[in-house]
Amino acid sequence: MSDIKKMGIDSVYAYRCDVADREEVFRIAEKVKKEVGDVIILVNNAGIGFSKSFLNHNLDEITRLTNINLLAHYWTLKAFLPSMIEKNYGHIVALSSIAGLVGAPYGTVYCLSKFAIKGLMEAISVELRTLSNGKSSIKFTTIYPALVLTGIVKKPKLRFPWFGRYKPRKAASLIIDAQRRNYENKSLPWFWLPITKIGRLLPEKAMKCILDFIDSGVYPED
């Protein structure tokens, strides 16, 4: 925020909000509407992660991760989508993950949340198209990044770093570009989506051999 102000751009607003708290989301959304106006681009980017085996996840971790990575999408959509529908204009961007395309060890909770985002975005896009008889102009973009160096992943495992490792600024730039180009689905790097689609057509044993060869993911924190 301070960096943007230094650039001489004054028409910028910042609000602190715990997206896991639905009442706070609705309260901040109402404040934004009063002080700025209707939101026309919503980017659901908040997320946390724990690299642990399933049995070593405690119940609070499971609940908190699900609240932030998944349920928060429902609260922000409930808060901002109605005005988009009323105006028949807007764009929803949601951050899934490569871990939302292929399950991975030590990701039994994280992967689930990211798989769910894929399903949510597909379902709500189809629903709006059906309810509007194909006349909805609201756009949906789901992003599937590989490793973004935000610190969420404490011990990344990358046999081939060129398979996807991004600094946050670069990832943000690519996400903005995907939104502006109206991509419905975009993986970072681009080739992960077609690889996983082709992989689903192969025998399970072949897909497992491919994943063993790539040998990427995370090392456990526990």
Q: Which has the closest alpha carbon to 178: 168, 190, 166, 167?
A: 190
Strands 91-95 and 185-188: unpaired
How far, rounded to the nearest angstrom, does the alpha carbon of residue 14 sit from its chain's CA centroid?
Answer: 20
Token pair for residue 128?
Answer: 């709006």
Q: Of 110, 144, 166, 183, which one is the catalytic site residue?
A: 110
Residue the block writes with tokens 């629903």: 127
Go through 115-138 and write b for each residue having 16 or more CB atoms within 10 A of its CB, e for each that does not. bbbbebbeebbeebeeeeeeebeb
Token pair for residue 107?
Answer: 């990701």
94 DSSP β-pair partners: 44, 142
13 in catalytic set: no
**Which residues are known catalytic residues?**
110
